[in-house]
Amino acid sequence: METAQTSDISQENREKKEILNRYRGLLRSCRRKLDEDEKKLIRKAFNVALEAHKGVRRKSGEPYIYHPIAVARIVAEEIGLGSTSIVCALLHDVVEDTDMTLKDIEGMFGKKVASIIDGLTKMSGVFDASSSLQAENFRKMLLTLAEDVRVILIKLADRLHNMRTLASMERTKQLKIASETLYLYAPLAHRLGLNAIKTELEDLGLKFTEPEIYHEIDQKLKDTQAERTRYIQRFIVPLREALHEQKFKFRIFGRPKSVYSIWTKMKNKNIPFEEVYDIFAIRIIIDTTEDQEKTDCWRVYSQVTDFYYPNPDRLRDWISTPKANGYEALHTTVMGPNGQWVEVQIRSERMNEVAELGYAAHWKYKEGRAHEDHLEEWLRKLRESISNPNDNALDFIDDFKLNLFADEIFVFTPKGEMRSMPVNSTALDFAFDIHSEVGAKCIGAKVNHKLVPLSHKLNSGDQVEVLTSNKQSPKADWINYVVTAKAKSHIKTLLKEEKVKLSEEGKAILKRKFRHLKLNFDDKTINALYAFLKLPDQQELYYRMAVGHIGQDELKAFLASKDKITESKSTLPSLEQLVSAARGKAKADNLVIGDNLDNLEYKLAPCCNPIPGDDVFGFVTVNEGIKIHRVNCPNAIELMSNHAYRIVKAKWTSQKLLSFLAGIRIIGIDKLGLVNNITQVISTELNVNMRSLTFDTNDGTFEGMIMVFVHDTAHLTNLLEKLKKVDGVVQVMRLDSQT
């Protein structure tokens, strides 16, 4: 007994020592010099957090206090924020997880800290099954972000540490958190210029959503590292000598692209790892004064192109016009040794700091140059896009994601003012960007002095003049003409206002019709009518009455079937009941597919066409039972991020009696007898049945699509391997969806 007690005391002492070490590490890691008052405030926050989380442990078994210390360290070291943010990072879970209130925090640390903590604290209250709790949390956080950008920076640090320690969570939690990260947090980090954090979030997101793909690419990067290093050295040697001769102070090195960016390229271009040519980039960082950096970057570019021939289509000048997230650099792609294209990035030390840490860290909290113009403009647009808090939370998230665009164009007003817009923006987007009232009255535009319609897509360098009329009002199809969050949000609001007005008129019309048909105008009859017409709610019913989509014929048909209707919309099961029923039918918290299929209404999702052996999950729908999706389905990240409560764990039984449809795409050299050789492998060697086979040839190459019936992933993999060995076949891949 004494030995056990001694062991416990010893463990406690070790942990106390470790907590203190981590706290000292936090203070040492601060990028800014702290004065004595700041150190005292941080110590006070540390003591409050330590006491509040006393005795609480994380899933990994570690003391909970390790987490806030780690988040504070990311905030201080990797983002470069000051004492206020460090205090908030230490206290970020205190209000949510303990008895301490925001009032307590305000009393001890002041209003600013309490306001930031409020933005970081998750929403509490009733769970809304028609929406997503995560989407509501995210919206609340963004409302605070509009006031203080530090909220989102600390939230990103919190998410980064959670992702770094995600291995201790169960698989379903890993999928949900990693999907959210890829769907919202990584694009947000990108938008705020936090490149290093964005890259790590993406890589960790891929590691937990598609571990096999992640480890395969990671291993291939390790296997090719020595060869890559030799090539980089060979590429750099002449440049280093030339830049020394020109008396530049500089650093030059090669950097491999992230696993996630390599996977994205493989997926988008349908190519294997070996065919991704830009697996690394050469970075040249020059130490120069701010007034000389633009000139010096172009001088370095001149030296690079003296040795290597540039691709004229691949020059990107983000020094003259920085990206919306503040990124500045010159990018060029040149032909290196052995006929290999190599990307070269040229930037100054200041530009490099902004690229890695994000200018948000400099904004208003640091002396010297701050890029508040760009950030202030984005925050202004953000405030506008979240100014209507009555929107459905999921619509809001979809619209907000439009603000996280990676690519942009630069267009000009008639007076020459430059405005940054997302790629694919239209004339109508531009009108709303000028002002919401200008957008609402827009009838067309002149682009480069030529008349164009509202839906006209803009290109960089276009000069746009908006044409308006007081008689114009927004139309329902406008929503299809725009891509920016601001335009979508305003159009939806204006259409909603118009719909409410028309609904009142429709209600009066329906009242008169009911009186004429001797029907009671009450909720029960109205609910029965909109259920009969398969409409979502009363407002839609009234609106359709007003615009003439519902007339006497529909009302007479309803009257004729009224006696047969026993169930109105109000008695149909709610989404919560459907989810609960699905979970109740799941065995050991897993939906077993292929076992007693008759007892469960389910469908295989056509968007990813899962087969036995695939890692899958169930998604509860309102009208189509449970849809089975692959974990790496193109829609999986959005479903898991926004609708996690509708996800049901699923697995296959081991039976192999059933056949499932799978698609295969084959690319190769058109040779005599090739189709015969391919079909021979499929039907004769492996006894696989084909449903359809199509081949197209073009100037000596061919592309084929084959739909086959297979038992499981092992069966399909075996078939793919056999097809790769057919003479003339260059590439074989599985198709995600049925065709």
> Residue 109 CB: number of other CB atoms within 10 A?
20
pLDDT reported for residue 274: 84
Question: β-strand 280-286 against 250-256: which pairing, if any?
Answer: antiparallel
Do residues 90 and 68 make contact, with C-beta atoms less than 8 angstroms apart? yes
Q: Tokens at residue 128, please? A: 């809304």
pLDDT on residue 6: 58
Cβ neighbours of residue 76 under 8 Å, at least 6 residues apart?
26, 29, 30, 31, 85, 86
| pLDDT (0 to 100) of residue 27 | 86
Give the tokens for residue 440: 């609402």
Contact of 448 with 423, CB cutoff 8 Å:
no
| Number of Cα atoms under 13 Å in the Cβ half of residue 642 | 18
For 656, phi and psi rounded to 5 degrees?
A: -125, 20
The torsion angle over the Cα atoms of residues 62, 64, 67 and 69, rounded to 10 degrees, is -110
Q: pLDDT at position 415, please?
A: 85
Residue with tokens 């609402």: 440
Distance, in Å, from the CA atom of 661 to the CA atom of 207, rounded to the nearest integer, reads: 28
DSSP 77-120: III---HHHHHHHHHTTHHHHSS--HHHHHHHH-HHHHHHHHHH
Residues constituting the chain: 739
Q: Is-catalytic flag, 200? A: no
Distant-in-sequence, close-in-space partners of 275: CB < 8 Å, separation ≥ 6 = 269
φ, ψ of residue 734 in degrees (nearest 5)? -80, 140
User: CA neighbours within 13 Å on the CB side: how many for 352?
Assistant: 16
Residue 294's H or E segment, with its range, is helix 293-307
Closest CA to 325 of 379, 271, 366, 276: 379
Average pLDDT taken over every residue of the chain: 79
d(Cα 644, Cα 636) in Å, to the nearest integer?
Answer: 10
* Cα 233 from Cα 222, distance rounded (Å): 17
List all residues 6 or more positions away from 250 whose beta carbon is below 8 Å from its beta carbon. Answer: 243, 284, 285, 286, 287, 300
* Two structure tokens written together for 542: 């009234």
Helix 102-109 to helix 83-91 angle, to the nearest 10 degrees? 150
Distance between CA atoms of residues 253 and 347, nearest Å = 13
Helix (H, G, I), strand (E, B) or coil at 683: helix
**CA nearest 122: which of 111, 112, 133, 132?**
133
Residue 476 near residue 495 (C-beta atoms within 8 A): yes
Strands 626-630 and 602-604: parallel
Identify which of 16, 17, 84 has the alpha carbon closest to the alpha carbon of residue 44: 84
Among residues 38, 97, 317, 554, which one is catalytic?
A: 97
Helix axes 66-73, 83-91, angle to 10 degrees: 160
Cβ atoms of 664 and 732 closer than 8 Å: yes
106 carries an active-site annotation: no
CB atoms within 10 A of CB 562: 13
> Given this model, what pLDDT does residue 370 score?
42
- Look up the pTM and report it: 0.71
Relative to beta strand 591-593, strand 647-652 is: parallel
Distance from the first to the final alpha carbon of the chain? 69
Per DSSP, 627 falls in state: E
- Give the single-character DSSP code of 456: P
**What are the tokens at 450?**
């030529």
Domains, the chain, in order of start with CATH, read 14-168 (1.10.3210.10), 217-361 (3.30.460.10), 493-571 (no CATH), 575-652 (no CATH), 660-735 (3.30.70.260)
The three-state secondary structure class of 501 is: helix
Over residues 517-539, the pLDDT tens digits come to 777 777 777 777 777 777 777 77
| Whole-angstrom distance, CA of residue 676 vs CA of residue 481 | 48
**Per the residue annotation, which of 96, 128, 377, 685 is the catalytic one?**
96
Nearest-CA neighbor of 404 among 511, 485, 458, 481? 485
Do 648 and 618 form a contact (C-beta atoms < 8 A)? yes
Q: In angstroms, rounded to a whole number, what is the distance separating the alpha carbons of residues 654 and 262?
A: 34
Helices (H) and strands (E) in the chain, counts: 29, 20
Cβ-contact 517, 559 below 8 angstroms: yes
- For the record, the structure tokens of 714 come out as 């092992």
Which residue has tokens 């399909």?
A: 716
DSSP class of residue 590 equals B
What is d(CA 696, CA 703) in angstroms, rounded to the nearest whole number?
Answer: 5
Identify the segments of the chain with pLDDT beneath 70: 1-9, 122-147, 359-406, 562-601, 622-623, 653-659, 685-687, 736-739
Q: Cα-Cα-Cα-Cα dihedral of 324, 326, 330, 333, to 10°?
A: -60
